[in-house]
Every structure is written in structure tokens, then in C-alpha cells.
A and B are shown apart, each in its own frame.
Chain A
Amino acid sequence: MPDIPSCPVTGASESLPEYPLPRAAECPLAPAPAAQELRAGKPITKVRIWNGSTPWLITRHADQRALLPDPRVSDDDLDPGFPYVNAHRAEIAPVTPRLITNTDAPEHTRLRRTVNGPFVVRRIETMRAPIQKIVDDLIDDMLAGPNPIDLLKAFAFPLPSLVIAELLGVPYEDHDFFQRNSGVVLDGAVAPEVARKASGELAAYLDRLLTKKMTDPGEDVLSEMAGRVKAGEMTHTEAVHMGVAMLIAGHETTTTMISLGTLAFLQHPDQLALLREAEDPKVIANAVDEVLRYLTIVQTGVRRVAKDDIEIGDVVIRKGDGMIFDLHAANWDPEVFPEAECLDITRPARIHQAFGYGPHQCLGQNLARLELQVAYGALYRRIPTLRLAADLADLEFDHTGTTYGVKSLPVAW
């Protein structure tokens, strides 16, 4: 066979879908229609991303479960085939220390076990009462303040900030400083140098606090890490980076689940009524998992690179190929969730992949679940007349961030 010039290949790849795929304006909470079509027709297929590279897009629940725990599927973002989310991520990869977010077993296993202690289920459960207090105080303030109000500012944003401060062991008198600076870091609208300054101040603050915890430890994550630093199991710098990483990974995600989750419930009054009247904590717990499934807010998907050839179904993923796991498409896979487009808090929802799957599955998932259980459990009960104070069509959604959130959520009661 003669050598075929590169034209047909270019031609073929030019028709590849561009990822991320757009959502439909009339269904702002549903996954991109094209992702659902691909899942039905071409569940493992190539797409084109911002830098012109063509990683595989994996959309079926079962394929994601088969691939994500596979040791050939790597989180090494220094590999030239890694499908970076954007130019900024590509730029910072070479200057980012090796953390749980960019390593594979056995290094990942070792690092993750050094930070996992505070996330052990039994220890997370001890945070229920402090979280309930934070939630009750925020709702008291809301009820005493103006009506209507932006739920994001009044409730969804401060809650995770205060919880992470509690988790890390930030003393109460520093909560304002902590919340103000994390607000700036997470605010997409501020100038990059302003965000960088706030993030520098936070890191410097956590650095000082870590040093203090070396001699005066408490029952918190920073004290735990201070102990590990003393024992020579991690460096001081790694511990500070890990503290900042927890703040970044745990704040916006939880904020978004509170605001977008509330929007989803307000759009489904029957489900909201079921949730509000639930006596059994298991019903509330399942409602949290169902709304996590339904919304699957991590819209960039999970990114990986193949360290070896992988045969799956009728495709071969080659060593060095990038992979994008579209979590929302998998969580609306009718093979696992019949009538996936219905929010149904009574369905078995626990097997969703909103926290990912495999060794990198969300470190903070048990804490996130607890925060959401307490938040949903209290907010709609204490404010039973809560309603949207804007038209759905006027809400502004964030299509470019890691999480798909709403920029503000005006509510009244």
C-alpha cells in the first residue's frame, strides 16, 4: 500500500468534537447533549482540546470504572501527553511540587496516607455538631438580614470557608482574615495579581500557623501534618501546599453544591418537599448523593494519561495518549441510572462518580457529604418558603471554571 499523505488524517481529525462540549441553554443543569450522544454511540472517542491535542473522551459509567483504578492510567501531569484543562494548568505543572493530585502509586499512596487521618469517617463524624452550629448561626443571620438576598454570599460561600478553617485548625479570631482572603483567591473576577497576593498571604499565614502547631498541637489537620513534618514524613513546604490545596479543592466545590443544589431543589418542588419532611437521616444522605449525581459539578472532567497501551472494548488507547473522563455523562448513563434526567432522591444514587473514581477519588468526600447533609437538612426546614427571586433565564452560570456554578442566587422567603 502506498504511503498516504497526511491530508485524510488531518481532514478526519478536523471533524473531531471540540471539548468541552457546550450545554443546551434551555437545560442549564443537564450535561452537554453531545456528551450524551457520544455515550450512546461512541463511548470512547477522540476529541480536540484547547491546545489542539486529541485525547480520548470516556463517557460510559462502566468504562470509567474499568479504567480509573487501572495502574496504567496515570495522573502524571509532567507527561507530554497529559490533557491539561487550560494553558494556566499546563504552565504551572512543571513548577508544582509532587502532591497527591499529580502522582501515581506507590508515591500517591504514601502521600495520601500522610494526609488522610483527619478524613477518616469516624473523625469526620465528630465535626457534625460544629458544622450544625455554623449552619444555624448563618441561617440566624440570614433571617435577621435583608430579604431577598444572594444565597451565595449569605450562606453557600461562608459555610465551607468556616468548616475548612475548623478542619485546618485556624483559631476563631483569624476566621475573618481567612474567609476574606480565600474569597479573593476564589473570585474569578479579580485581577490575577490581586488573587496572587491574597493566595500568598494565605500561604504565609498557614506557614506560620503550621510552625505554631509544631509546639502547640490540637486535633486538626495542620497539627496532624506538623506531627508528620517533625517525624520526617513530609516537608514543611509540602504541608503548606497541602493546606492550600485543601482550601482550593474543598471550598468552591462545596459552595457550588449548596447554591446549585438549592436551585435544583427549587426547580423540583416535589423532591424538595420529600427532603424537607424526611425524618430518617438516611433519606437526607441519599438526597445529597442524588443531587451530587444529578449536577456533577466538576465540569472539566478527570484528566489522565496512558503509561502503556490499553485495550478496552474495540479501541486501543496508546501509551502517551491523554484521557478525559466526563463525569456528568457517566452519572447520567441510563445503564446505571434509569431515567437519569429525573432528580429522584429515593433512587439508589450512591454509585455515582461525582467525586471521581479510583485512587484519586475525592479526599474530602466524607466531609463534603456531611456539610451538605447539615446544610440541606437545616436550610429548607428553617426557611420553608424559600424561593428563587430571579428568572431562571437571568441567572449567570460559570461555563469555564473547574466547577459549574451559578454566579449569584437571589432568593426570598
Chain B
Amino acid sequence: MLVELDVPKCVASGQCVMAAPDVFDQREDDGVAILLEEHPGDELLDEVREAVAICPAAAIRLAEQ
């Protein structure tokens, strides 16, 4: 799968980190999201889907499954 993160849209809520901690992290000083893994393994699909669904800024896209 291919995950895309639109950093300028991110409002640093950390919801993606809660949903998929192996795929997302946050910058220590302001909480802006960091994409750790552009191509996470399929076992993380549900977690990534949840991150996409709950991101309040609609900043995450599942470009390919």
C-alpha cells in the first residue's frame, strides 16, 4: 500500500499516531505528523484506514492498496 501525508494540511492532532503508531509519528516540538513508512505492510491496512478516517484535517490518503 502507498500512504500519502499532506503536511501543510496537518493540524498536529496526533490521531494518526494513536491509530497507526508504526506508520506515523509526531514532531516533538509542535506535533506535526511524520510519515515513518510510505509503504507499510498489509497487516497494517486496518490501522492506516482508521488513521485516514479519523484525521480531522483529511490530510492522509491511502493512494494504493
Asked if A119 is at the interface (CB within 8 A of a chain B CB), the reply is: yes
Not counting A116-B30, A359-B56, a sample of 5 additional A-B residue pairs whose C-beta atoms are within 8 angstroms of each other reads: A113-B32, A116-B12, A120-B26, A120-B28, A351-B53
Asked if B2 is at the interface (CB within 8 A of a chain A CB), the reply is: no
How far, in angstroms, from A121 to B25 measured CA to CA in the complex? 9
Q: Mark B10-38, 1 if CB is under 8 A from A, else 0.
A: 01111001110000001111111000000
* Chain B binding surface SS class: loop
Asked if A366 is at the interface (CB within 8 A of a chain B CB), the reply is: yes
Closest A residue to B14 using CB positions: A121
How far, in angstroms, from A113 to B11 measured CA to CA in the complex? 8
How far, in angstroms, from A95 to B13 measured CA to CA in the complex? 28
List chain A residues, Cβ under 8 A from B57: 69, 358-359
Q: Are B26 and A112 in contact (CB under 8 A)?
A: no
* Candidates A112, A114, A117, A351; contact of B11 at CB < 8 Å: A112
Asked if A88 is at the interface (CB within 8 A of a chain B CB), the reply is: no
How far, in angstroms, from A112 to B14 measured CA to CA in the complex? 13
List chain B residues, Cβ under 8 A from A147: none
Within 8 A of B (CB), among A352-371: 356-359, 361, 365-366
A-B residue pairs in contact (CB < 8 Å), sample of 23: A68-B56, A69-B56, A69-B57, A112-B12, A113-B32, A116-B12, A117-B28, A117-B31, A119-B14, A120-B26, A120-B28, A120-B31, A121-B17, A121-B26, A122-B26, A350-B50, A351-B53, A358-B57, A359-B56, A361-B11, A361-B13, A365-B13, A366-B18
Asked if B1 is at the interface (CB within 8 A of a chain A CB), the reply is: no
List chain B residues, Cβ under 8 A from A119: 14, 31
Chain B contact patch, size range:
20 to 34
Q: Mark B25-65, 1 if CB is under 8 A from A, else 0.
A: 01111111000000000000000001001101110000000
Name B's A-contacting residues (CB within 8 A). 11-14, 17-19, 26-32, 50, 53-54, 56-58
How far, in angstroms, from A361 to B27 measured CA to CA in the complex? 19
* Candidates B11, B28, B54; contact of A359 at CB < 8 Å: B11
Q: How far is the CB of A75 from chain B (nearest CB, A)?
A: 13
List chain B residues, Cβ under 8 A from A350: 19, 50, 53-54
Q: Are B53 and A358 in contact (CB under 8 A)?
A: no
List chain A residues, Cβ under 8 A from B54: 350-351
How far, in angstroms, from A359 to B10 measured CA to CA in the complex? 8
Q: How far is the CB of B33 from chain A (nearest CB, A)?
A: 10
Q: Are A120 and B56 in contact (CB under 8 A)?
A: no
* Candidates A113, A114, A117, A361; contact of B56 at CB < 8 Å: A361
List chain A residues, Cβ under 8 A from B31: 113, 116-117, 119-120
Asked if A13 is at the interface (CB within 8 A of a chain B CB), the reply is: no
Most buried by B among A113, A120, A357: A120
How far, in angstroms, from A120 to B32 measured CA to CA in the complex? 9
List chain A residues, Cβ under 8 A from B30: 113-114, 116-117
Most buried by A among B18, B27, B28, B50: B18
Asked if A86 is at the interface (CB within 8 A of a chain B CB), the reply is: no
CB-based closest 6 A-B pairs: A361-B56, A121-B14, A113-B30, A116-B31, A120-B31, A121-B17
Q: How far is the CB of A113 from chain B (nearest CB, A)?
A: 4
How far, in angstroms, from A239 to B1 measured CA to CA in the complex? 42
Q: Mark A319-359, 1 if CB is under 8 A from B, else 0.
A: 00000000000000000000000000000001100001111
Closest A residue to B26 using CB positions: A120
Closest B residue to A369 using CB positions: B18
Q: Are A121 and B32 in contact (CB under 8 A)?
A: no
